[in-house]
């Protein structure tokens, strides 16, 4: 049952079937995935009232996605299951569990309910750049923001779908400018901007409008920057036994958003004003929650979404409290 004391969160983007195999292994595993689906499940498992607006078919793979959403407590926006077919991502894992993707998909945005019902919208990845849905995503984000909600964005670059960096960078930066919080990986930024220093990109993107930007760096943790603070914060990783990296960035995003919502730094115009003047002491609990959430995910195989109890248990075990 939804917790009516929690704000309504919308994840807007792709949900699909991941077909996964390891190099040298002919066995193909199949499970539900997609960046925005993973974030939606992650947020719901962390206790947030979460909906997903996506685009899948009323076929057997689509039914699997809907059932997985239900198990995680994610509400599916009506119209999401009206695509002609359900999209598929093919993931090849190397010996260290790192994934490379190829995609067979289509994307559009279903008709959304009143934007004012959502306190926060999160989007990114393929959904923000693949047309016709990409332009519809921008309009939906503007509607939520115009109604007083907050916005987060993760470019989550997928070169196999997005083409060349120059074809998508304008859209990426349009959504950066609309966002209050942006998360990217160092690999995303390297694909988009080559050898340009990460800190320079972070400062340039913060100047477009976000109040907080975080760059994940795999096993090296993350960097974080606030718009009005000169310092760049290094967020250390948590060492765990590796399963694979599938869904690690999405889990980090879910943990970050959950922590910011819990800290009153997202979900309303007042929250944005608090985020605008927040110092590191106010933001660090959300960053730690993000790191812990992601660490639990990579200790499993597949896009595992931990509960808040699991996050607190890991926090306690390493003596790193999470609010």
C-beta of residue 297 within 8 angstroms of C-beta of residue 241: no
- Strand residue runs (E) in the chain: 8-12, 16-22, 29-33, 49-53, 75-76, 88-93, 99-104, 120-124, 150-154, 181-185, 212-216, 222-226, 232-235
Contact 154/187 with Cβ under 8 angstroms? Answer: no
In the chain, what is the straight-line distance between the N-terminal and C-terminal CA atoms, in Å?
23
> Is 323 among the domain residues?
no
Look at residue 317 and tell me if it is in a domain.
no
Domain count, the chain: 1
Phi then psi dihedrals of residue 99, to 5 deg: -105, 140
Q: What's the burial of 226, exposed, middle or buried (CB within 10 Å: 0-12/13-18/19+)?
A: buried
Which pLDDT belongs to residue 2? 46
Indicate if the pLDDT at residue 323 is higher than 80. no
More confident residue, 296 or 319: 296
Q: Does the residue 122 lie in any domain?
A: yes
Q: What is the CATH number of the domain that holds 160?
A: 3.40.1190.20
Q: Is residue 297 part of a domain?
A: yes
Is 73 domain-assigned?
yes
Note the residue count of the chain. Answer: 323
Would residue 136 count as lying in a domain?
Answer: yes
Cα–Cα distances (Å) from 65 to 16, 27, 32, 69, 114, in that order, read 7, 22, 6, 6, 24
* Cα–Cα distance for residue pair 247/304, rounded to 1 Å: 7
- The percent of residues above 90 in pLDDT, for the chain, comes to 65
Residue 80 forms part of a structural domain = yes
Mean predicted lDDT score pLDDT of the chain:
90
Could you give the angle at which helices 165-178 and 133-146 cross, rounded to 10 degrees? 10
The Cα–Cα gap between 205 and 198 comes to 11
Q: What integer pLDDT is reported at residue 40 of this predicted model?
A: 97
Q: How confident is the model at residue 231 (pLDDT cuts 50, 70, 90)?
A: confident
Q: Is the pLDDT of residue 4 over 60?
A: no
pLDDT at 289 over 50: yes
Give the domain extent around 185: 8-310
pLDDT of 245 higher than 70: no
Percent of the chain with pLDDT over 70: 93
* Greatest alpha-carbon span in the chain: 53
Between residues 114 and 182, which one has the greater pLDDT? Answer: 182
Q: What average pLDDT score do residues 263-275 get?
A: 95
Measured at the alpha carbon of residue 65, what is the angle toward residues 309 and 44, in degrees to the nearest 5? 25
304-322: average pLDDT: 79
pLDDT of residue 9: 97
pLDDT at 306 (0 to 100): 86
For the segment 193-226, what is each residue's pLDDT rounded down to a tens digit? 999 999 999 999 999 999 999 999 988 889 999 9
Most confident of 20-24, 94-98, 200-204: 200-204
Question: Is the pLDDT confidence value at 127 over 80?
Answer: yes
Helices vs. strands in the chain: H and E counts, helices first? 11, 13
**Looking at the predicted structure, is the pLDDT value of residue 117 above 70?**
yes
Question: What average pLDDT does range 136-156 have in this prediction?
Answer: 95
Predicted local distance difference test score (pLDDT) of residue 1: 41
Does 237 fall in a domain?
A: yes
């Amino acid at each position: 049952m939804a917790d009516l004391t929690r704000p309504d969160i919308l994840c807007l983007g792709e949900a699909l079937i991941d077909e996964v195999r390891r190099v040298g292994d002919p066995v193909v595993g199949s499970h539900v995935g997609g960046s925005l689906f993973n974030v939606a499940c992650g947020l719901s498992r962390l206790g947030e009232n979460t909906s997903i607006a996506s685009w899948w078919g009323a076929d057997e793979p689509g039914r699997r996605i809907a059932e997985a959403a239900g198990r995680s407590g994610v509400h599916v926006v009506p119209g999401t299951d009206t695509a002609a077919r359900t999209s598929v991502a093919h993931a090849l894992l190397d010996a260290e569990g790192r994934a490379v993707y190829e995609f067979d998909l289509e994307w559009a945005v279903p008709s959304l309910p009143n934007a004012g019902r959502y306190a926060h919208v999160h989007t990114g990845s393929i959904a923000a750049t693949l047309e016709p849905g990409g332009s519809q995503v921008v309009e939906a984000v503007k509607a939520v923001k115009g109604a007083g909600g907050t916005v987060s964005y993760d470019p989550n670059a997928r070169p196999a779908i997005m083409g060349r960096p120059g074809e998508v960078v304008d859209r990426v930066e349009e959504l950066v400018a609309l966002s209050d919080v942006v998360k990217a990986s160092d690999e995303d930024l390297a694909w988009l901007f080559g050898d340009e220093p990460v800190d320079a990109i972070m400062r340039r993107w913060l100047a477009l409008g976000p109040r907080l930007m975080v760059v994940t760096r795999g096993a090296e943790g993350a960097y974080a920057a606030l718009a009005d603070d000169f310092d760049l914060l290094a967020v250390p990783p948590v060492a765990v036994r590796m399963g694979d990296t599938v869904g690690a960035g999405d889990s980090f995003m879910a943990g970050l958003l959950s922590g910011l919502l819990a800290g009153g730094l997202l979900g309303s115009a007042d929250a944005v004003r608090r985020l605008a003047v927040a110092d590191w002491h106010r933001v660090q609990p959300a960053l730690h929650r993000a790191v812990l959430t992601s660490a639990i995910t990579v200790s499993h195989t597949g896009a595992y979404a931990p509960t808040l109890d699991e996050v607190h248990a890991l926090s306690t075990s390493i003596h790193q409290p999470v609010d």
